Chain A
Amino acid sequence: MNARDLITGAQNTWCPGCGNFVIQFALKNTIAALGKEGVDTDRIVLVTGIGCHAKMADYLNINSFYSIHGRTLPVATAIKMANPELVVIACAGDGDCYAEGLDHLVFAAKRNTDITLLVHNNRVYGLTTGQYTPTSPLGFRGRSTPSGTVEEPFNPLEIMLASGATFVARGCTRRMDLLQRTIMEGIRHPGFAFIDVLQVCASYFNLSDYYERSVYEIRDHDERDFEAACRKAREWDYNTDAPIGLGTIYRAERPTLEERLSAVRGTETDREATIRNVLEKRT
């Protein structure tokens, strides 16, 4: 049903100028392109957390699991484990994925589950009206830090490289075509694909001009070289001024969680036989 209208009738409530519109279009176009390549839209499942990003579940007319704050990845992982034929895309926010649910992010990378994660990283809590997140710069004045934050941000790309992610990339809502290509690469990547999407928050942290000045498309970079990837990831620390590279930073191949699980899985399907066998051993 690839001719399906990929946008639902739900009223869109993102602020005018919100970077989420760009991500939505990029995702919609990607899904449409996948459909043309024969990836049945019925096989795609979108999992979201809670936050502005998560409204994607209401707006895209595809299978979706609108989960709770921070818990996008365990749901997405489980859906993929349950049925590896499904194409699972997870959308999470930076507060969602880097604060509330950071444990799951590290483990998703460690496991190399074959899912694609887009972190809508606007570096601020939008839906709760403007508090700092783990990627807000030092000194960020938000509703919970009126005198400025007293913590430096962390670099999610470095965390992902350290955790064993096999696909690490960055996109920006100011560069939609590149973002769309990166998402497609992530979905095609057999393993955990992590894409940090620098997203403009029109209401609470509008970095449009800053990103416009700083971002560039990564070229002449060996994305299979882990050390080079680490250097590229460290080029910008999410805090101080530096060029911000966009595109794929690292790519490696490793067996996925699903492959490894299926290799050790039992084959008996007769429940009676299994129960009788256990009881016999216990007699």
Chain B
Amino acid sequence: MLFGVLFTFMEELSVLIGGKAGDGINSAGMVVAHLFNRMGYRVYMYFDYPSLIKGGHNFAIVRAAKEKIGAHRSQVDFILALNQDTIDFHQDMVHGKTVALYDRSKVRAEGVGIDLAQILKEENAPPVMGNSCIIGAFAKAAGIEWKVIEEVFARQVPKALSLNLRVARRGFDGARECCRIATLTSSALPVISGNEAIGLGLIHGGLDAYVAYPMTPTSNILHFMAEVAESHDMLVFHPENEIAVMMMALGLGYAGKRTAVGTSGGGFCLMTEGLSLSGMSEIPVVVVLGQRAGPSTGMPTYTAQSDLQFALHAGQGEFPRLVVAPGDAEQAYAWSDLSLQLSWKYQVPAVILCDKTLCEGFYSFSRPDFKIPRIGLPPGASPGPAYARYHLSENGVSPMLAPPRQDTVIKVNGYTHDQSGITTEKADIAALMSEKRQKKGTALAGEISSLNPVVVDGDTGTDTALICWGSTTGVCREVAAVLGLRLVQPIVLSPLPEKVLQDALRGTDRQIVIEENAEGQLAMLLARHGIRPDSHIRRYDGRPFTVEELEARAREVLA
């Protein structure tokens, strides 16, 4: 590894910090991200870890830039190595000016070595504080002023602040300046994970309860919500399995509580019978479905976009559903809010389809500058003996009441039922009720088309479009900008806003679909709606595209 040459200004910077599980790499990455955040940069952090608790190799890549970003690069400018693997496994990410800072007591490398074992011993600090020390060394090497460390630690390092600062100072004093990163004028922003953005969006949308069984990559929503619920009036519950999760959500929904659940593909498999009950009983529920590499257990901590067709078709029978795939923290916030609202207005299940990259990635976040529409509920029914839970209305949506209401019997039912909710097998009623559900889907689709369900970005005058969905939006946005392409990102995938999408693609004669799956699941969906893209770029190794990888693949396709 070459030793860094002094450079004083960079448009952007990438830092890789690695160690074994248990070294606190995720938190260390967050501290590095906050150093940049404090200096006016917009940040994105990718966290890569195997499915184990102690040992193994974890790394975080923190990228800082002037503009908001949602992807990492193939190369990094700094490597912070707490283990030998961090040096050995990432040789392909090194460029001529990459600076390595490493724990000299464990790692052999070229660059700036700091004897963490010695420093921790002298300061009587626990091993996990090694990352504070290496961050101190990094700050010095990157020309970041000590006061920035002090500020960031004070806010982000909750425990043993003074000892952490002492250890960091030893690292800072033990390193030498290799470059000086410019301080920008922008003010710091919140740095949150996609999971947190989803949680906050749901809270903003009126969430009353969150129910989940732990499963990567959405377990952190459960943890986040549980923490929020210590002060906020919200029910957060972790039951015996995902079947109970879904059924509890429906019980809560029946009783009038706006409820979301969170899981990944395996858990969603267990929820599908309940999802179908949601469709039939018309009890709203929001499912956060964080995709990871399958099939089966697959690679639990690695990413994929391979559950789109599953989300579109999960559950027996036919019923309308909302499926949205936000692409970054801000979209996650806005569309989690909207999903909850729409689910309640149309009394349909909603799926927020995200993935490991979005869920566990960290983003500079500002609340969307557009006002998230407040979607009213359908006109309320009057309680009383005449109330019918499944009253047939013009658009299929029946007024929904929760018990107890005076002199009112509120019956919900998973069997085919009549307007009052009593089981029937009569042919004419069965057909009417199917049509009722279809009408709700039509009404939902109508409302969706007015909510900007398709994002168009990049060069809108060009005849070539990249089409993407979900977390690849960030990397696609950058590649579209570099190559002068149009970017079209449908956020709503069910009901697919066909006309809006066609308008977004108008004037393009070449369309390339980017997906992190092998079978081209978005392409299949588009084909069903008469949109037949001619090229595809697919990845299915559990890793998200870097900017350079996608750019190279796009150039190949365009050549």
Give how many A-B residue pairs fall within 8 Å (CB-CB). 183
Assign chain B's interface to a size class: 35 or more
Q: How far is the CA of A50 from the CA of B274 in the complex (A)?
A: 13
Q: Which of B249, B407, B411 is most buried by chain A, counting CB atoms within 10 A of its CB?
A: B411
Instruction: Check: A86 CB closer than 8 A to any chain B CB.
Output: yes
**A74 lies within 8 A of B229 (CB):** no
Residue of A42, A266, A267, A269 near B403 (CB, 8 A) is: A42
Instruction: Check: B179 CB closer than 8 A to any chain A CB.
Output: no
CB within 8 Å for A104 and B240 given contacts A43-B404, A267-B231? yes
Q: Which residues of B contact A279 (CB under 8 A)?
A: 190, 192, 200, 365, 367
CB within 8 Å for A274 and B232 given contacts A75-B248, A82-B257, A279-B190? yes
CB within 8 Å for A66 and B411 given contacts A261-B235, A278-B196, A282-B191? yes
Residue of B229, B254, B274 near A79 (CB, 8 A) is: B254
Q: Which residues of B contact A34 (CB under 8 A)?
A: none
CB within 8 Å for A40 and B243 given contacts A58-B422, A75-B248, A78-B248? no
Q: Which residues of B contact A206 (CB under 8 A)?
A: none
Q: Which residues of B contact A81 (CB under 8 A)?
A: 235, 237, 248, 251-252
Q: Which residues of B contact A66 (CB under 8 A)?
A: 281, 411-415, 417, 421, 423
Q: Which residues of A contact B256 (CB under 8 A)?
A: 82-83
B387 nearest CB across to chain A (Å): 11
**A78 lies within 8 A of B415 (CB):** no
Interface string of A106-127 (1 = CB under 8 A from B): 1100000000000000000000
Interface string of B214-256 (1 = CB under 8 A from A): 0000000000000011111111010111011001111110111
Residue of B251, B367, B406 near A65 (CB, 8 A) is: B251
A227 nearest CB across to chain B (Å): 28
Please give me the residue from chain B that is nearest to A1 by CB atom: B407
Please give me the residue from chain B that is nearest to A71 by CB atom: B247
**B403 lies within 8 A of A63 (CB):** yes
Q: How far is the CA of A10 from the CA of B250 in the complex (A)?
A: 25
**B411 lies within 8 A of A57 (CB):** yes
Instruction: Check: B277 CB closer than 8 A to any chain A CB.
Output: yes
CB within 8 Å for A78 and B403 given contacts A68-B414, A103-B241? no
**A82 lies within 8 A of B233 (CB):** no
Assign chain A's interface to a size class: 35 or more
Q: Which residues of A contact B274 (CB under 8 A)?
A: 68, 71
Please give me the residue from chain A that is nearest to B383 by CB atom: A42
Interface string of A49-83 (1 = CB under 8 A from B): 01000010110011111111001001111110111
Chain B positions 32-69 with a Cβ under 8 Å from a chain A Cβ: 37
Instruction: Check: A8 CB closer than 8 A to any chain B CB.
Output: yes
Instruction: Check: A283 CB closer than 8 A to any chain B CB.
Output: yes
**A282 lies within 8 A of B403 (CB):** no
Residue of A65, A104, A268, A278 near B244 (CB, 8 A) is: A104
CB within 8 Å for A282 and B404 given contacts A68-B273, A275-B204? no
CB within 8 Å for A77 and B423 given contacts A63-B411, A107-B239? no
Q: How far is the CA of A194 from the CA of B203 in the complex (A)?
A: 36
Instruction: Check: A37 CB closer than 8 A to any chain B CB.
Output: no
**B411 lies within 8 A of A271 (CB):** no
Q: Which residues of A contact B229 (CB under 8 A)?
A: 265-266
Instruction: Check: A85 CB closer than 8 A to any chain B CB.
Output: yes
Q: How far is the CA of A282 from the CA of B241 in the complex (A)?
A: 31
B376 nearest CB across to chain A (Å): 17
Instruction: Check: B116 CB closer than 8 A to any chain A CB.
Output: no
**A79 lies within 8 A of B273 (CB):** no
Instruction: Check: B120 CB closer than 8 A to any chain A CB.
Output: no
Q: How far is the CA of A277 from the CA of B248 in the complex (A)?
A: 29
B228 nearest CB across to chain A (Å): 6
**B190 lies within 8 A of A266 (CB):** no
* 19 A-B residue pairs with CB within 8 Å: A42-B408, A62-B409, A66-B281, A66-B413, A66-B414, A71-B274, A75-B247, A78-B250, A78-B255, A79-B251, A81-B235, A82-B251, A83-B403, A86-B403, A103-B244, A261-B237, A278-B192, A283-B155, A283-B189
Extra contacts besides A68-B273, A82-B208, A271-B203 (4): CB < 8 Å: A50-B414, A81-B252, A86-B255, A266-B233
- Give the interface of B toward A (CB within 8 A): 37, 155, 188-192, 196, 200, 203-204, 206, 208-209, 211, 228-235, 237, 239-241, 243-244, 247-252, 254-257, 273-274, 277, 281, 365, 367, 385, 402-415, 417, 421-423
